[in-house]
Chain A
Amino acid sequence: MRPMMTGVRTAAVVATQGLRARPLRSALAVLSLFVGVLAITVVQASSTVAERAVVSQAERSSGHAPTYTASFSPGDVRTVAELETLTRGTDAVAVVTAQGALGDTRDVHDGAHLGLELMAMDGDIRTIRPFRVLAGEWLTFADQPTLAPRLVLNESAAELLTDREVHAELRIGEDGPAPTPRVLGVVDDGDGQPIAYTRLDEALRWSPALLERAGVTVTVHDPGSRQRTTMAARIGAMELGGDVTFARTDTVEQQADSLALVRTLFTVLAGVAVVVGTLGILNIGLATVRERVDELALRRAVGAGRGHLAGIVLAEALLVGAVAAAAAILVSLLATGLATDLLYRGMPDGAGLAFPGAAVLLGTGVSLGAALLGAAVPAWQAARIPIARVMRA
C-alpha cells in the first residue's frame, strides 16, 4: 500500500508540473470534458429538481401514490353515521364538497362576495395530500368543534379575499345562517380554484343538511389493498347500484414517467457530449505523450518504471477530470439554482429542491471516468516508450 501511495503522490506532482507546463493544452483538455460533464450534471440536477417539484405539486392536488378515491353523488351518503360506517377502521378521509361563499351573497354588487368550494373533512386530508402551509396554520381535528367555523383557504381563495373587502360571513348553499368564520391560514393545495377547507363537524353545525345536497369523496392512501377492499364491501352493502367504485389516481406516476422519459432523452444527449469530451482527452493525451516522449524516456532512465509513466499520464487526466468536474458542478449549481428560483419560486425548503447530491457524485464520477478512459491509450503508449531514446544512437 505504501509503495502505491508513493507512486500516486509522485505521479500527482509530475502530473501537476506537466499541466502547468502546457496551460493552453490543459485548459483545452478541461474544456473538452467540462461541456459533457456540465450537460450530465445539469440534466441530472434539473430533472431531479423538476421531478421533485412536479411530484410535490401533483401530490398536493392528487395525493401520495397510490391514492384511491370513491365519489358519491349528493344523497348517496346522507348522514355522518353512514360516513363513519363506511370509513371506520381505515385511514380514509371523507370530504364533503359544497358551494359556499364568503361575504354577503344577497348583495349583488361586484366584489360583495366571493364564491368558493367548501371542502368539509372528517379527518386530516393532509395525510394524503401534503398541502403546504403558506401562512397561519392548518386545521386541527383532535379538539372539539367551535361555534365559529374555522377555515383554511387555498392560495386562490386567499388572493381573491385579499383583493376584495367582503363581509365576514360564510354561507353554505343558498340559505341558512351566515356564521362569521375564522380564517386560520393559507395553504398551497395545488388547485387553481378558490377553495376553503373546514372540519365537517363544524360545517354541519351551520348546515345540518349539508350531506343531503353535497357530493362526498372518500380518499384513501392504500399501498396495499386491504382498506379499499373493506370499504368496497361496505359500499356494496349500501346498495347504490354499483356506480361507486374506487378509482386510482395516477397523476404522480404519470408525471414521474413523463419526466423520466425527458430525463432519459437529455441524458443520452449529454452522454454524447461526454463521449466527445473523452475523445478530446484521448486526442490531447496522444499529442501530449508524443510531445513528451523524451521526458518520459528520461524519467525511465532515472528509475521510473513503466507503470509509473502510465500513472503520470493517468494522474494528469484525473487532475483534468477533477477540475472539469468542479467547474461543471459549480456552473450547474448556479444554473440549477437560478432556474429553480425562477420556475419554482416560493416552494418550501423541505420540498427537496436543493441541488441533489447525486448530481455531484454523478458529475464527478463521469468526469473522472471519462478522463481515465480517454487517457488509457496515451498511458499505455507512455509505458511503452523505449528507454534508449535518451541515447544518441
Chain B
Amino acid sequence: MTAPLMAMSGIGKSLGQGATRQRVLDGMTVDVYEGQSMAILGRSGSGKSTLLSLMALFDSPDEGYYELDGRDVTRVPDAVAARLRSDTFGFVFQRFYLLHHLTAEENVAVPLLNGRDWTPGRRRRERARAVLAEVGLSELASRYPAQLSGGEQQRVAIARALLRQPRLVLADEPVGSLDSVTGSEVIELLRGLTRRGCGVVMVTHDESYANRMDRVLRIADGRVVSDGTGGKRCGR
C-alpha cells in the first residue's frame, strides 16, 4: 500500500481564551491518500472544520504530529505553510469566495497571482480557460460572479482549486449553499477529481453527500467515531 499523502496522529486543538477556551479536537488520528475521496462527517461544532483548517496548514495543532508527503509539518513557519498550500492543496469553500470584481476566468487565475511564480497574463488566461472547460464552464469565462448561478459559482471555485494541479482538494461544506440537484452535480464533479489522481477531503454535515465519497470519517466532540467506506462505517 502506498504511503498516505497526509498523516495526522494524536492531534489536539483548543480554541478560545480563558474561561471560553474549549477543546475542539482531542487526539485525532487521520490518514489521507492521493486519489481517494473522503468525507469528514459531523454535526455542527464537532470539530470537522477545525480539522480541515489544520490539514490546510491554516493553523497548527496544540499537540500531536502532522506529516505531509513524508515531511513533518506539525509546526512550520508561515512562509513554508503558504508554499506548501500553494504546491499541494486546492480549496473549495462553502461561500465560494469568488471575487466579485473579477470575471470567472480571472477568479480561476487567482492562485497564479500568489507571488510565488510569474505567469504572463496570456498564459494565465489560457490555463484558467482550460480548467473552466474541465468543469464545463468555458462559455462563461468572461462573466462576473453576480452573473452566475450558485452551482456555476461553485464550479468556478472548483476550477480555481484545480488550477495549480493540486494533489489534494480540501472542500469545506462545498454544497452547503446549493440546492440538492446542484449539490449533487458538485459532488460528482469532486468525485471525478479522484480519477485524475487528485485526492478530495470534503467536510459536510449531510450524510447523503458524505456517503457518495470513497471513505467517510465520522467525528463527534473532536474525536473520530468511525472511519469506513461510503455508506459502510466501522466503529472505533
Contacts and interface: CB of A to CB of B under 8 A. Distances in A.
Contact of B110 (A299, A307, A392): A299
A292 to B, nearest CB: 9
Nearest to A306: B78
Nearest to A9: B118
B102 A392 contact: no
Nearest to B56: A301
Given A303-B86, A390-B91, A17 B56 contact: no
B117 interface: yes
A159 interface: no
Contact of A7 (B83, B99, B115): B115
In this complex, which of B56, B82, B94, B164 has the most chain A Cβ atoms within 10 angstroms of its Cβ? B82
Interface in A352-391: 387-388, 390-391
Contact of A301 (B49, B79, B91): B91
A13 interface: yes
Contacts of B95: 392
Nearest to B50: A393
Interface of A (DSSP majority class): helix
A20 B86 contact: no
Contact of A13 (B82, B93, B101, B113): B113
B173 interface: yes
B14 to A, nearest CB: 14
Contacts, number: 97
A142 interface: no
Contacts of A299: 110, 113-114
A302 B86 contact: yes
A14 interface: yes
Interface in B100-141: 100-102, 106, 110-111, 113-118, 121
B211 interface: no
B59 A304 contact: no
Given A301-B58, A391-B93, A311 B101 contact: no
Interface string A5-16: 111011101100
Nearest to A302: B111
Given A299-B110, A303-B82, A305-B78, A17 B101 contact: yes
B97 A304 contact: no
Nearest to B82: A305
Nearest to A387: B58
Interface of A: 3, 5-7, 9-11, 13-14, 17-18, 20-22, 294-295, 298-308, 311, 387-388, 390-393
The 8 closest A-B pairs by CB, nearest first: A303-B86, A21-B101, A308-B115, A303-B114, A393-B49, A304-B114, A302-B111, A7-B115
